[in-house]
Structure 1
Amino acid sequence: MAVYLDVAPDLLRWAVERAGWDEQTALQRFPQLDDWTAGIRQPTLKQLEKFAHATHAPFGQLFLPEPPIEPLPVPDLRTFKDAAVRRPSADLLDTIYLCQERQDWYRDFAPENGLDPVGYIGSVSIEDAPAKVAHRMHVLLGDANPGHAVPVGWSAMFRWLVDRIEASGALVMVSGVVGANTHRVLDPGEFRGFALADEIAPLVYVNGADTKAAQIFTLIHEFAHLWLGGSALSDANVAERSVNTTERWCNDVAAEFLVPVDLLRAEYRGDASPEALDELARQFSVSTLVVLRRIADAGFLAWADFRARYIDEERRVLAKLAEARETGGGGNYYNTQPLRLSRQFARSVIESTHEGSTRYRDAYQLLGLTKHSTFEGLADQLGAR
């Protein structure tokens, strides 16, 4: 005999909204949903379990008298046209919770293994000039000659920056999905990244579903948040002048780090054609969108003109990326996984597990793995023994 359950309609609507579904998607997945929310009929136990699984809603919360309030566990500095951002999705919440779980583990691991606190966390304030902070970042990362002593190309530049930031003591995780679930793709329109500041286990997360060029800007933007010593969910956007002073400062630091304005002035020849933007982008290993923003910052382009040019340039960049995707192939699992997990974090978990300090079951959960063979394959890739 089927068991029918009484669920408040507002809880069903809450789960749908939390999943990020529109009405059409919800009804395609669950044609009975209108009847459930109208009180015409009730879902069976199996139907509700399937609904909770599909919407990533905790099953027990569907029996509350009213929808729970789920505040973001980090300060939300995002804005959209100066308005507050809508309710966070289940994908975003679960990603933050997973990163906090990993950070908690590493916070215990680090001091037990002789790792010192990270000195630059909270070492600056927004009163410090962005150019000076950007210079300090370059010195820390071992690049005293910005704009020239870095790898060429977005992917090479991004990998180099991730490796250098991890060497400085921060964990960097880059993924476009929730955990290891490739069916839960993160939306760059909701967030581009976040920072979890901590003196022992600082962490930067970059939404890997975004374009590679955008990821570079986000990475340095979130790195700047660590220097300020504050956790934040951000919308690192090179095209916006955020109403939030902290976000604006982090954007300015990231822009100056990637394309120092004095160096741009020396290289700029008054030509902002697509071909000239491409050449400058290759020189600095950044997006043409960042170059265009720096041309405006240098006073060569009025802000209103920049915004108009930015829209056209963004269309061109997206068209080129779409063309590249059509001819590109997939990546090797063991090459991409260390970037998703943080190379330093994954190696630490594996070594701790091999030593017997961490249980295999806990390690699999932290790393998002299910098979021992995959665990050992990742260990071989990282040289973690």
Structure 2
Amino acid sequence: MSQAIISPEVLKWARLRSKLNIDMVAQKVNVKVEKLNEWETGEAKPTFIQAQKLAKTLHIPFGYLFLNEPPKEKADLPDLRNLSDCHFEDFSTDLQDVISDVKFKQDWYREFRQERGDDELKFIGKYSDKDSSKVIADEITEVLNLTIDDRKAVKNWEEFYQLLVKKAEEIGLWVMKSSMVGSNTHRVLDVSEFRGFVIADSIAPVIFINGADAKAAQIFTLIHEVVHLWFNSSGVSNIDFRNDKNSIIDIREKKCNEIAAEVLVPEAQLMKLWNKVLSVSENADNLCKYFKVSSIVIARRALDLDLILAEEFFDYYAYLVEVWKEAKQKMKNNDGGPSYYVSIPIRNGYRFSGDVLQNVYSHKLLMRDGARLLGLKPATLAKFAKEVGVR
């Protein structure tokens, strides 16, 4: 078989970029580690078939392997992450692919909404960092029409999250949530890398939530990204509740955290409900059920409002880390989750999914193009349409 004259330097770059160790890549390409080492050092060359397998495994265009040097990749979105133990210096291949997919969909949706005659959203970019966090939080709460009665009406975090998504989409926002790249169950998104991102746009603003995160944590991330839109700012976030008041973090991120906390846990109500006789853990456990947010959000809010000491907060945080580890293991052992067809609009956004289907079945969009937008095969799109009653 003829050899593929690939660049050893590009091959090694692609493997390191993919976060896969050499053993894993060798296994996927079905060669010995020693052989892969020879390819990376230039002592040997793969066949064209093996080179194609390498490109697929490393999630790069086949042509990249023939470049003289690794391409200079530019981050698609501002990196606003501040998680202190984040081990990702650059965006992983998985995150980059998710961002690219969302941008591809956003380009179509923006054009569709413009042609439909949708108005620009007036609240996008309405405020700056100099404006009052309380004023912005009150406006977001009003625009979303979010009340305490809403919290009382839902049973759990999952229902509250779904309610927030519904309210966000009703005002013109677009919310996507997934725990993997496309529908590839082998490419699970890493919560330690990011919790969500937002791409601001006056016509088709989109929020992406990492579905691999805990349900309660997704609520704060959602509102955090909503706040970004009031500043017309885009970026990838990974909220870290451990930052103290004097931490050197992105000013905008700090502002968005502050506003999101006020939207979800209003200061006046928390001050009224906080019981000084009870411990941090007891207060957090009680109040997280009332506000429908995670207990760490309650504890962090209490710290920022001087209801507890920093030492108390960090002790409680350390305790929760162990609780989260146990919960994560239980999630791994639980195969439950929404059915496949139910998950499609969750992954792509409810209104976006509906608009794509309507365009396909009104013959304004080819079936194959609609399927591509939803990350489906044409036959699966037809079954999905039937499932939701579009055809």
Aligned residue in 1 for 2:258: 252
Deviation at 1:325, TM superposition (A): 5.9
Question: CA, structure 1 residues 189+222, in 2 after alignment: closer, same or farther (shift >3 Å)?
Answer: same
Residue of structure 1 aligned with 2:304, choices 297, 300, 307: 297
| Partner Cα distance (1:18, 1:43) in 2 | 20
Q: What secondary structure, in the 3-state scheme, does the structure 2 residue paired with 1:183 have?
A: strand
Deviation at 1:83, TM superposition (A): 9.5
2:349 aligned with 1:350: no
Residue identity matched to 1:338? P
What per-residue deviation string (whole Å, max 9, x for no partner) do you get for residues 35-71 of structure 1? 1112221111111100110111111011111111111
The equivalences for 1:104-183 within 5 A come to: 104-145=107-148, 148=151, 151-183=154-186
Deviation at 1:173, TM superposition (A): 0.4
| Partner Cα distance (2:94, 2:188) in 1 | 8
| Partner Cα distance (2:324, 2:83) in 1 | 22
Question: CA, structure 1 residues 50+250, in 2 after alignment: closer, same or farther (shift >3 Å)?
Answer: same
The equivalences for 1:213-228 within 5 A come to: 213-228=216-231
| Partner Cα distance (2:288, 2:147) in 1 | 20
Q: What secondary structure, in the 3-state scheme, does the structure 2 residue paired with 1:184 have?
A: strand
Question: CA, structure 1 residues 150+230, in 2 after alignment: closer, same or farther (shift >3 Å)?
Answer: farther
Residue of structure 1 aligned with 2:382, choices 366, 376, 379: 376
| Partner Cα distance (2:316, 2:220) in 1 | 19
Q: Percentage identity across aligned positions?
A: 36
Q: What secondary structure, in the 3-state scheme, does the structure 1 residue paired with 2:236 have?
A: strand
CA contact (8 A) 2:265 2:298 kept: yes
Residue of structure 2 aligned with 1:78, choices 77, 81, 90: 81
What per-residue deviation string (whole Å, max 9, x for no partner) do you get for residues 72-115 of structure 1? 11111123549995222211111111101111111111122232
CA contact (8 A) 2:22 2:36 kept: no
Q: What secondary structure, in the 3-state scheme, does the structure 2 residue paired with 1:172 have?
A: strand
TM-score (norm 1): 0.93
| Partner Cα distance (1:207, 1:82) in 2 | 18
Deviation at 1:116, TM superposition (A): 1.6
Residue of structure 2 aligned with 1:102, choices 105, 110, 133: 105
The equivalences for 1:40-79 within 5 A come to: 40-79=43-82
Deviation at 1:376, TM superposition (A): 3.0
Residue identity matched to 2:286? E
What per-residue deviation string (whole Å, max 9, x for no partner) do you get for residues 187-211 of structure 1? 1111111111000100000111111
What per-residue deviation string (whole Å, max 9, x for no partner) do you get for residues 8-27 of structure 1? 22211111122121344334
| Partner Cα distance (1:321, 1:153) in 2 | 18
Aligned residue in 2 for 1:307: 314
Residue identity matched to 1:348? D
Aligned residue in 1 for 2:267: 261
User: More displaced, 145-154 or 65-74?
Assistant: 145-154
Question: CA, structure 1 residues 180+8, in 2 after alignment: closer, same or farther (shift >3 Å)?
Answer: same
| Partner Cα distance (1:185, 1:196) in 2 | 21
User: More displaced, 56-65 or 326-335?
Assistant: 326-335
CA contact (8 A) 2:77 2:236 kept: yes
Aligned residue in 1 for 2:347: 340
| Partner Cα distance (2:133, 2:315) in 1 | 26
| Partner Cα distance (2:285, 2:60) in 1 | 45
User: More displaced, 165-174 or 136-145?
Assistant: 136-145
Number of paired residues? 383
Deviation at 1:184, TM superposition (A): 1.2
| Partner Cα distance (2:131, 2:87) in 1 | 27
The equivalences for 1:280-295 within 5 A come to: 280-295=287-302
CA contact (8 A) 2:83 2:240 kept: no
Aligned residue in 2 for 1:18: 17
Deviation at 1:323, TM superposition (A): 3.7
Deviation at 1:144, TM superposition (A): 4.0
TM-score (norm 2): 0.91
Q: What secondary structure, in the 3-state scheme, does the structure 1 residue paired with 2:197 have?
A: strand
Residue identity matched to 2:367? Y
- Structure 1, unaligned stretches of length 5 or more? none
CA contact (8 A) 2:133 2:259 kept: yes
- Structure 2, unaligned stretches of length 5 or more? none
Residue identity matched to 1:6? I
User: More displaced, 82-91 or 147-156?
Assistant: 82-91
Residue identity matched to 1:363? G
What per-residue deviation string (whole Å, max 9, x for no partner) do you get for residues 130-153 of structure 1? 222122111111124478455231
| Partner Cα distance (1:25, 1:264) in 2 | 50
Residue of structure 2 aligned with 1:360, choices 357, 367, 372: 367
| Partner Cα distance (1:150, 1:131) in 2 | 25
CA contact (8 A) 1:237 1:251 kept: no
Question: CA, structure 1 residues 21+230, in 2 after alignment: closer, same or farther (shift >3 Å)?
Answer: same
